[in-house]
Amino acid sequence: MNSREIRSKFLTFFKEKEHKIVPSAPLVMKDDPTLLFVNAGMNPFKEFFLGIARAEHPRVADTQKCLRVSGKHNDLEEVGRDTYHHTLFEMLGNWSFGDYFKAETIAWAWEFLTEVCGISKDQLYVTVFEGSEDEDKLEMDQEAYDHWKKILPESRILMGSKKDNFWEMGDQGPCGPCSEIHVDIRPEAERKANPGAELVNRDHPQVVEIWNLVFMQYNRKADGSLEPLPEKHIDTGMGFERLCMVLQGVSSSYDSDLFVPIIREIETISGVSYGKAEDTDIAIRVIADHIRAVSFAIADGQLPGNTGAGYVIRRILRRAIRYGFSFLGMHSPFMFKLVDVLTRIMGEAFPELKAQRQLIVNVIREEENSFLKTLEQGLSLLDQTLKGTQGKTLDGEKAFELYDTFGFPIDLTSLILRERGYSLDQAGFEKSMQAQKDRSKAASEINRDDWVQVHQGEGSQFLGYDTLEAEARLIKYRKVESAKDGERYQLVFDNTPFYPEGGGQVGDKGYLEASNGNVTYILDTVKENNEILHITKNLPKDTKAEFRAVVDEQQRKRTASNHTATHLLHQALRKVLGTHVEQKGSAVHSNYLRFDFSHFAKLSEEELEEVEAFVNARIAEKLPLEENRQVPVKEALAAGAMALFGEKYGDTVRTVRFGKSIELCGGTHVANTADIWHFKITSESAIAAGIRRIEAISSDAARDFYLEAGTTLEALKGILKGSKDPIKAVSQLQEENAGLRKELEQLKKERAGNLKEDLRSQIQEQAGVNFLLKKVDLDAAGMKDIAFQLGGEVDNLFLILAADQGGKALLTCYISKDLAADKGLNAGQIVRELGKHIQGGGGGQPFFATAGGKDPGGIPAALEAAKAYL
């Protein structure tokens, strides 16, 4: 069975059991600050399990793309070393939100594996939670055990510990026991000799867990205690890559049809065959795995970058390049060539790959180029460092510096060292690394106190589309502490007009007014798990009071204006440049907006003007806001709304329309485009291959921009004596200035030449020394110039020049090098001595030195004293 069939059989199977089949949510979690990427099938449904939202359909099944780069079982550095770990994987899952429970889940899982997939029953083992003796005092999961007992012999039902068989999402929230299904795919002879039961959960590469069935039945409270959930849920996850491995009769997921075509392509490109040597095999697996992760991330809008999620993607890509570089001899970009074969394998199940193919290729190629450049630079730095190294061990700190500052991978460093007969001070490196980690940790440490419940009730009804003021009661609050901000409070209200940061738009600021008149300022508003958190510096004195929550109107107005302008900009770009333009990110602040989009070239002056004019024309049309807050995604798309990545199943969405611009958007907007007043692009730049960025301003900021420009122009005209064409006037001035400057330079040269001749004629000779002690009218640079010129023309020269420049005394001493050496003279020393007469000091080299002082009156004395050196 090929992978495509397996995936579709799973979905069809659950469709027949009345499940709603939904598409995979995007890899990048837009609304969850606690997660960079979806790392488990249940992430997109978290709010249903937490009870914050209600699922539209109680039974759902899907395949969810997941990305794991860290965690107890999956360290990025380990992927590829073995034959079964992956960064990106698909999780097949079926879900029940308060609907069916253990009986159906167990029966269906068994039916699917044995009957649909045809896995032999005696290769399967299951585990059941054994209970716990700790403070939770949990009983064994007898219910699950009984269901399993009906379908397989008790000898194949194993007891699992709390660590393996009790699943928790975090410190708090829904949790429960789980049952895992393991499959033993060792050859029959081995299976007979050594029963698989003993190998379950022992990290054996061929006795593996393929399906985890989680029975959510408890809620872990803040104090650590457990209470039964009113509604029980099912959360299952089956590793798709492992399932393919099992059903295709191979012993590694890398040998399944999900990976083989990619590996073949790598062989073709590199000329290295898979299966020949351990080193190259690891490299090939790393590359095959990582190209998937990187491509999917880019398809979902996550570009490589140097912070957060973008940095994770960059690291994954660079790790693959590194392996290619070191073990397959790939010294020029190659990863981007794999995107085509990946799209062929998975493009059907994940159409975003097909849609974004060109962008993925461009971005990866560009990243490869820039990293190869970093490597080249690092190689020469390493060479240099080694030249300065005594002995045969490279200092750990130096290696860390190469890594930390110049991005040169440590494993490459140690590889090269080994080749050249050096060794690496690993301990020193680790120490520096730890210090760096500690620094970062200390800077970003956040302490969150427990939530304090104030009033009962549902939280976070958002009223901000309609009003900027509302009566609000505090539901709960907590204290958070960070090194950066110090103490802050997070407040959740029953109602709020405050818009939480999201969709690129910044959170609202404003204040709370208690009934007794006390005011508390709200510094920012954010969203977490669909709850709206208001951030304050202080807690209101009376938390139980009735509050009036008031949003800062001016800030909100400006932000709304920028947000609407962003939509119009998006529309304008598609109109002017073409429909390949897609939003890749946006930031809507109160004083400016930023919009990133896919486009292959720099925008010309004309295009920018056209875009600006288009937006301003929509503003002039006075288009009213037409919003619809409850539209099913499908309908919205059918109406032509621009779908961005980040939407997931189950949402009814809000559409925002101004004339022909329709977008899915949760942000706040102006009531009419006329409120924007004016739109002005301030910059256009590249941020990655195939991605451009436009920054712009609108409303008050645009007005200020023009006011300031006007003021500057008026001032300029004033200076230019009311010239009608200041541009011409200034360029004329510039030309004139350049001409004058040249002329002046010429004159200076002449004068210096004359002065030089004059001085030269005054040089006296005494005992073979040509000397001159003279006060001149030159600045320090001029004296230096003359001194060097004379020095070049006159042998055995001893020259001291003095000058009085604006009340400061300057001395310059030049002694021909031969003379200085013969007579043991030192200009630096002389000048220091003479400096005393002008109340100053100085120094320099033996043949040339300068001094400066406060007393020009001492110049004659200094010159007199200089005679002593002759």
Partner RNA sequence: GGGGAAUUAGCUCAGCUGGCUAGAGCGCCUGAUUUGCAUUCAGGAGGUCACCGGUUCGACUCCGGUAUUCUCCA
Q: Does 153 bind RNA (CB under 7 A)?
A: no
Q: Helix (H, G, I), strand (E, B), or coil: what is residue 140? A: coil
What is the spatial distance between Cα 610 and Cα 735, in angstroms, rounded to a whole number?
33
What is the spatial distance between Cα 779 and Cα 811, in angstroms, rounded to a whole number?
10
Q: How many residues bind RNA (CB under 7 A)?
A: 46
Q: Which of residues 777-796 bind RNA (CB under 7 A)?
A: 780, 784-785, 788-789, 792
What is the spatial distance between Cα 473 and Cα 492, in angstroms, rounded to a whole number?
9
* Binding characters for RNA, 825-844, by CB under 7 A (x = yes): ---x-----------xxxxx
Q: Helix (H, G, I), strand (E, B), or coil: what is residue 589? A: coil
CB of 843 to RNA, least distance (A): 3
The strand pair at 797-805 and 769-775 is best described as: parallel
Name the nearest CA neighbour of 396 among 404, 786, 620.
Answer: 404
What is the spatial distance between Cα 247 and Cα 349, in angstroms, rounded to a whole number?
19
Residue type, 32: D
Residue type, 784: K
Neighbours of 292 (CB within 10 A): 26
Q: Does 405 bind RNA (CB under 7 A)?
A: yes
Q: Does 137 bind RNA (CB under 7 A)?
A: no
The position carrying tokens 């961005």 is: 644
Query: Pick from 16, 154, 163, 306: which binds RNA (CB under 7 A)?
Result: 306
Q: Helix (H, G, I), strand (E, B), or coil: what is residue 70? A: coil
CB of 606 to RNA, least distance (A): 25
CB of 559 to RNA, least distance (A): 18
- 19 marked as part of a ligand binding site: no
Query: Pick from 183, 851, 862, 863: which binds RNA (CB under 7 A)?
Result: 851
Binding segment toward RNA, per CB under 7 A, in 107-115, 429-437, 713-721, 749-757: 429-437
CB of 820 to RNA, least distance (A): 13
Closer residue to RNA (CB): 244 or 827: 827
CA angle 305, 310, 314 (to 5 degrees): 70
Closer residue to RNA (CB): 140 or 780: 780
CB of 688 to RNA, least distance (A): 9
Binding segment toward RNA, per CB under 7 A, in 56-64, 245-253, 331-339, 433-441: 433-441
CB of 400 to RNA, least distance (A): 8
- 563 marked as part of a ligand binding site: yes
CB of 376 to RNA, least distance (A): 8
What is the spatial distance between Cα 473 and Cα 267, in angstroms, rounded to a whole number?
64
What is the spatial distance between Cα 720 and Cα 732, in angstroms, rounded to a whole number?
11
**Tell me, what DSSP letter sits at residue 328?**
S
Question: What Cα–Cα distance (Å) separates residue 566 from each residue in 146, 604, 668, 671?
Answer: 58, 20, 12, 15
What is the spatial distance between Cα 192 and Cα 420, in angstroms, rounded to a whole number?
50
CB of 572 to RNA, least distance (A): 24
CB of 404 to RNA, least distance (A): 4
CB of 790 to RNA, least distance (A): 9
Binding segment toward RNA, per CB under 7 A, in 89-97, 191-199, 287-295, 435-443: 435-443
Closer residue to RNA (CB): 2 or 685: 685
The position carrying tokens 């104090």 is: 223
Q: Does 346 bind RNA (CB under 7 A)?
A: no
Q: Does 741 bind RNA (CB under 7 A)?
A: no
Q: Does 324 bind RNA (CB under 7 A)?
A: no
- 204 marked as part of a ligand binding site: no
Q: What kind and span of H or E run contains 474?
A: strand 469-482
Binding segment toward RNA, per CB under 7 A, in 290-298, 715-723, 749-757, 849-857: 849-857
Closer residue to RNA (CB): 115 or 779: 779
Closer residue to RNA (CB): 311 or 521: 311
Q: Does 488 bind RNA (CB under 7 A)?
A: no
Residue type, 259: F
Question: What Cα–Cα distance (Å) separates residue 817 from each residue in 759, 762, 820, 848?
Answer: 20, 21, 5, 9
What is the spatial distance between Cα 7 and Cα 136, in angstroms, rounded to a whole number?
39
Binding segment toward RNA, per CB under 7 A, in 114-122, 345-353, 371-379, 510-518: 371-379
Q: Does 737 bind RNA (CB under 7 A)?
A: no
Query: Pick from 224, 308, 624, 768: which binds RNA (CB under 7 A)?
Result: 308
CB of 403 to RNA, least distance (A): 6
Q: Does 504 bind RNA (CB under 7 A)?
A: no
Q: Does 516 bind RNA (CB under 7 A)?
A: no
160: β partners: 129
Neighbours of 238 (CB within 10 A): 23
Binding segment toward RNA, per CB under 7 A, in 39-47, 255-263, 402-410, 618-626: 402-410
Are 776 and 804 in contact, with CB atoms under 8 Å apart?
Answer: no
Q: Does 447 bind RNA (CB under 7 A)?
A: no
Tell me the chain's radius of gyration from C-alpha atoms.
Answer: 37
CB of 387 to RNA, least distance (A): 12
Q: Does 404 bind RNA (CB under 7 A)?
A: yes
Question: What Cα–Cα distance (Å) separates residue 34 from each residue in 29, 38, 56, 279?
Answer: 9, 11, 25, 36
Closer residue to RNA (CB): 412 or 491: 412
The strand pair at 469-482 and 461-462 is best described as: unpaired
Q: Does 131 bind RNA (CB under 7 A)?
A: no
Q: What kind and span of H or E run contains 438?
A: helix 426-444
Are 311 and 295 in contact, with CB atoms under 8 Å apart?
Answer: no
Neighbours of 389 (CB within 10 A): 13
Distance of CA 341 to the CA centre of its chain: 27
Q: Does 810 bind RNA (CB under 7 A)?
A: yes
Query: Pick from 324, 848, 856, 869: which binds RNA (CB under 7 A)?
Result: 848
Q: Does 602 bind RNA (CB under 7 A)?
A: no
CB of 687 to RNA, least distance (A): 8
What is the spatial distance between Cα 139 and Cα 137, in angstroms, rounded to a whole number?
7
Q: What are phi and psi of 476, to 5 degrees?
A: -155, 165
Query: Pick from 439, 448, 537, 728: which binds RNA (CB under 7 A)?
Result: 439
Q: What kind and span of H or E run contains 830?
A: helix 827-835
The position carrying tokens 């900009």 is: 569
Query: Pick from 72, 192, 484, 634: which binds RNA (CB under 7 A)?
Result: 484
Binding segment toward RNA, per CB under 7 A, in 132-140, 225-233, 405-413, 637-645: 405-413
Binding segment toward RNA, per CB under 7 A, in 200-208, 352-360, 440-448, 644-652: 440-448
Query: Pick from 54, 437, 455, 749: which binds RNA (CB under 7 A)?
Result: 437
Helices (H), 640-725: 699-719
What is the spatial distance between Cα 545 and Cα 239, in angstroms, rounded to a whole number?
51
Query: Pick from 34, 155, 307, 630: which binds RNA (CB under 7 A)?
Result: 307
CB of 562 to RNA, least distance (A): 19
Query: Pick from 383, 418, 845, 860: which binds RNA (CB under 7 A)?
Result: 845
CB of 797 to RNA, least distance (A): 13
What is the spatial distance between Cα 833 and Cα 298, in angstroms, rounded to a whole number?
70
The position carrying tokens 């209600």 is: 54
Q: Helix (H, G, I), strand (E, B), or coil: what is residue 728? A: helix
The position carrying tokens 């929550």 is: 549
Q: In 23-164, which ranges are E strands?
A: 59-67, 88-97, 124-129, 157-160
Binding segment toward RNA, per CB under 7 A, in 56-64, 165-173, 346-354, 846-854: 846-854
- The binding site comprises 563, 567, 665, 669
Where along the sequence are the contacts to RNA (CB under 7 A)? 306-308, 311, 314-315, 318, 370-371, 374, 377, 401, 403-407, 433, 436-437, 439-441, 443-444, 484, 780, 784-785, 788-789, 792, 810, 828, 840-845, 848-853
- The binding site for Zn(2+) comprises 563, 567, 665, 669
